[in-house]
């Protein structure tokens, strides 16, 4: 019996389905894109002067990316996010009211960022909500210390432990150089900070959804910096940076249509410029990756946003 020529055998195989003309191999292409992203994050950490920790969560797929993400870093003002969460938790529980007005006293005033340090002793009464706004938008250290005195450090840390992010610890007031010299810092890991931001996104917090939404809106009040600069202006970013000498940090939740995501970056043993450059590089790399995978089919085709929920599903 004469055998068919090779090209004829291939044609028959295709017709019979022996060589599937489907997208079975497509996950390998997505894996290549993912591997490049992981490599890019590692390169940023490797080439930055200083130690760098990174955690990224794709909130659509649940995939997580980390570089040194279990290392503990000092936080600077990024630690104000856990304090804000505890403030809103206590408000939701009825322990306090965000409308309660308190005096800004000289004993609470410290330097660094913010305007409350310039207020007259006991001459200004601000609501807890307004103090929280000053803390997040202007990174006001005096407002922060007033709020710490109101809710208590131990309460903040208990809540973080209950949320399984116990590596996040509020351990001192703002602007305490002597305590810094002794190694007493407000600390977190990139992984636990990212998990906390994920919980803000899903409102897996010990408070009602309406309260959680208000908290997120407070974090989304516009402020300049590396994270919002990395995305189009229409993308909402709930975030807080932190800076102390030698340390740069940022925690962020990005509402990218079709593919929201979380980024936390922490740099220590670094000067301000390379630290900020690393944070911006991570933010840029993450946006580039997320925008490429947002709304894409298994063939990498971007579909209209209204069909995003159908991505990956077979008809």
Q: What is the pLDDT, as a whole number, of residue 23?
A: 44
Residue bearing tokens 């740069």: 248
- pLDDT for the residue 298: 76
**75-188 CATH choice from 3.10.20.30, 2.40.50.140, 3.40.710.10, 3.80.10.10:** 3.40.710.10
Write down the pLDDT at residue 14.
Answer: 41
At residue 306, the pLDDT reads 61
Say which residues have a Cβ less than 8 Å from residue 144's Cβ, sequence separation at least 6: 77, 80, 83, 114, 135, 173, 174
The SS3 of residue 127 is strand
Nearest alpha carbon to residue 230 among 191, 287, 278, 183? 287
Q: Which CATH superfamily is domain 24-71+221-315 in?
A: DD-peptidase/beta-lactamase superfamily (3.40.710.10)
All residue ranges of the chain with pLDDT < 70 are 1-27, 305-315
- Burial (CB < 10 A; 0-12, 13-18, 19+), residue 239, is buried
The CA R_g of the chain, rounded to the nearest whole Å, is 24
Residue whose tokens read 């894109």: 33
Q: How do residues 105-139 score in pLDDT, each as one tens digit? A: 999 999 999 999 999 999 999 999 999 999 999 99
| Alpha carbons 304 and 258: distance in angstroms, whole number | 9
Q: What is residue 295's predicted lDDT score, i.e. its pLDDT? A: 79
Instruction: Give the model's pLDDT for residue 307.
Output: 63
What local confidence, expressed as pLDDT, does residue 61 receive?
93
The confidence score (pLDDT) of residue 303 equals 77
- Domain spans of the chain? 24-71+221-315, 75-188
pLDDT recorded at residue 12: 42
Quick one: pLDDT at residue 300? Answer: 79
Residue 27 CA: distances (Å) to CA of 33, 65, 139: 10, 18, 43
Looking up tokens 């925008």 gives 291
Domains 24-71+221-315 and 75-188 share a fold: yes
CA pair distance 83, 49, nearest whole angstrom = 30
């Amino acid at each position: 019996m004469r055998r068919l020529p090779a090209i004829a055998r291939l044609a028959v195989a295709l017709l019979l389905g022996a060589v599937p003309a489907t997208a079975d191999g497509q996950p390998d292409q997505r894996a290549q894109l993912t591997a490049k992203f992981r490599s890019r994050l590692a390169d940023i950490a490797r080439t930055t002067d200083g130690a760098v920790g990174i955690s990224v969560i794709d909130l659509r797929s649940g995939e997580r990316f980390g570089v040194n993400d279990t290392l503990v870093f000092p936080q600077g003002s990024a630690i104000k996010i856990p304090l804000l969460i505890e403030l809103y938790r206590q408000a939701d529980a009825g322990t306090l009211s965000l409308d309660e007005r308190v005096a800004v006293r000289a004993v609470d005033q410290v330097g660094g960022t913010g305007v409350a340090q310039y207020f007259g002793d006991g001459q200004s009464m601000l609501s807890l909500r307004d103090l929280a706004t000053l803390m997040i938008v202007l990174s006001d250290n005096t407002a922060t210390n007033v709020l710490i005195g109101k809710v208590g450090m131990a309460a903040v840390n208990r809540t973080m432990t209950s949320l399984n992010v116990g590596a996040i610890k509020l351990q001192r007031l703002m602007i305490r150089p002597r305590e810094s010299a002794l190694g007493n810092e407000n600390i977190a890991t990139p992984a636990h900070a990212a998990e906390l931001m994920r919980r803000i996104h899903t409102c897996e917090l010990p408070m009602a959804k309406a309260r959680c939404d208000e908290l997120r809106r407070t974090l989304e009040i516009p402020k300049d910096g590396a994270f919002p600069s990395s995305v189009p202006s229409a993308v909402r970013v709930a975030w807080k940076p932190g800076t102390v000498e030698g340390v740069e940090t940022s925690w962020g939740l990005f509402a990218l249509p079709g593919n929201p995501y979380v980024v936390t970056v922490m740099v220590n043993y670094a000067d301000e410029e390379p630290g900020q450059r690393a944070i911006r590089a991570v933010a840029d790399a993450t946006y580039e990756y997320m925008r490429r995978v947002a709304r894409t089919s298994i063939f990498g085709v971007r579909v209209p946003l209204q069909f995003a929920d159908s991505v990956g599903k077979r008809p």
